Structure 1
Amino acid sequence: MGEHVEIFEVGPRDGLQNEARAIPVAEKVALIDTLSRAGFRRIEVASFVSPKWVPQMAGSDEVMARIRRAPGVSYAALTPNLKGLERARAAAADEIAVFVSASEGFSQANLNCSVEESFARIAPVVDLAREVGLPVRGYVSCVTECPFDGAVAPAAPARVAARLAALGVYEVSLGDTLGRARPEQVRQMLDAVTVEVPARHLAGHFHDTAGRAVDNIAVSLDFGIRVFDAAVGGLGGCPYAPGAQGNVATEKVLAWLLSQGMQTDLDAAIVAEAAALARSMRDPSPVPE
């Protein structure tokens, strides 16, 4: 038996948030219910942000009310502020996530504030969540490259990850937001980050713009990381990272992990079913030149 590696499914939130077509709540619920049968331990299903900024997530309260919750599955929600946390608690989220950037340019574009200011915003969210017993996961964007600032020095994500850990998040997910990181860049970044945060508290979040996500997962495994975010059907991308394609596809990561002798506890047939459903939800309109 090979080592166990967990895929954290982010398709229903991170994957769908950037789709242009307004996806009905019923379709989102159908996708999540399919994923719930596949064996995932954690599924990110909602985002309690202002619909003004992310219209696709406007129905998050209703989505969480209508899904069929499977025993042993943690249903996660992104919460940028105390109001979002209040809504997540009302919707009975099992855990929440907060997010910061390793680069100033992306922080300004995505959050309209500096990295320092973003920590001031999330600190009370993490404090209150911990007070009420809600686990908190932290995302770090642009860990190797920023669409506005260019290359990101490894010290930057290391510093940000350390601050998130100090706040009390249980896991830090390291995001290659542009999806163009080369394995040697990921290695240099992890050399720095793992000095500050042990690998057992880290996850890899690789987009697949350049087709190197699996190579970067392989590097991360060398460092002892055993959790990777992925989205069925390769859904996703980031509205604040021009040209970035989707998250690495869950079914692609699963097939590769199995080929390496890793254990995942996932049902590949149900994952494939969910991936087909996810692809059918994509906006079919042509991308403008």
Structure 2
Amino acid sequence: MCREVELRQAVLAKNDGAAQALRSELAARGTTVVNLLSSPGSGKTALLERELTLARARGVSVAALTADLATENDATRLARSGAPVKQVLTDGLCHLEAGMLGRHLDGWLPPDTRILFVENVGNLVCPASYDLGESLRVVLASVTEGEDKPLKYPTAYGLAQLVVITKTDIAEAAEFDEEAFRANVRRVNPGVRILRTSSRSTEGTGLLLDHALAVAGGTRAHTPVMSRQPQAPHVHDHDGHVHGPGHDHGHDHDHDHGHAPSEPHPAPAATAGLH
């Protein structure tokens, strides 16, 4: 077990170094990274398409990189916004890592990009532990997922700097208890802001973009109380991928009124080689 813990710590330490270098390099270029995490089917692609389309209409230079185990479906959808989009196929890896992200950005990311949205692989386990050099980490949850998700995935929710509820147009039909969900979020991440959105009804359209722009402009994002340390050791499988116990491949006044985030942002913790 000690060897597994040491291996896990070494993997994360290497990633953290790459993430810090990437964050610094992108910041020097004026680019802010927003890391989007969620379960599969949360609606993050639909929401992101709307935000990208709105950003383009406002004249904001944005780009999106989307990661999946297979298919380029999400990139095809996001490209309808007119923003530069790149699909990354992880070939079975359940999360992005900072070095991987940096290599895919090198030579592709337009130099004037103000906001880069990264749509991470759809699960709430592995991606939670990996800093990508982001300045804003967002966890999305659809109303169909249940109110206890923050308690089931405390690392993902506990490290979020913004939480977004999606598909609110069907909240009543799904019998979603929003107050219970908010209470559970507060238990693992006191003070984090929670947004309500619906890609179908357009509720909340633009709020994610507004928060990203506020952070890009120097506003400090929420500082989670949880330390970004692994809750359990991960081990490498036969493919060399890092997995942990319960690994999932499939795989305060927290009502937001459109205000920019005002909580302190954690000191940059978060690859180099962008040209």
User: How does the TM-score come out when normalised to structure 1?
Assistant: 0.35
Q: Which structure dedicates a bigger proportion of its chain to helix?
A: 1
Greater relative contact order (Cα < 8 A, sep 6+): 2
Q: TM-score, normalised by structure 2?
A: 0.36
